[in-house]
Amino acid sequence: MTDTTGTKKNDDERWMREAIAEALLAHRKGEVPIGAVLVLDGTMIGRGHNARISRNDPTAHAEIECLRNAAQTVQNDRIPGATLYVTVEPCLMCFGAIMEARILTLAFGIREPKWGVTGSLYDLQNDPRFPHRVNVREGILAPPISELITQFFRERRKNRITAPRSG
């Protein structure tokens, strides 16, 4: 007999590790280390990481980059049945894109208390006014993700303090 709970957990952790790898790419580029991958029928069809600073694009969040990549892969703007793995709880813009793409499941690592909309600031996945429902799972590999985010902002604060002031 197959333990579907264990299998689901193993799959979640496997794909979240891929999202963490994307977050590490963002970190190396000086971006907030958030990464995402999109999985459909057990296959990764898209990946992305934050690129706001490097692209001078306020919409270049990990989730958006991942969804754009996946939409090109499947040649469709909608990807029903897919699961999006993202290291940090999505913001309003990203959740809107998730809904537009008709993503079935969102799995994330840690909450984002300032911007998150799946339980932190709002609970949009449960809002009955939306015609599409997104299943949400959270807490996947939360400790290493939390440490990565904490380390990034610790380094950023340290560099701000030690950097010479201009003007």
Active site residues: 63
118: β partners: 123
Contacts of residue 71, defined as CB under 8 A and 6 or more positions apart, other chains included, come to 46, 77, 79, 101
Three-state secondary-structure class, residue 30: coil
Three-state secondary-structure class, residue 39: strand
Structure tokens at 46: 């898209």
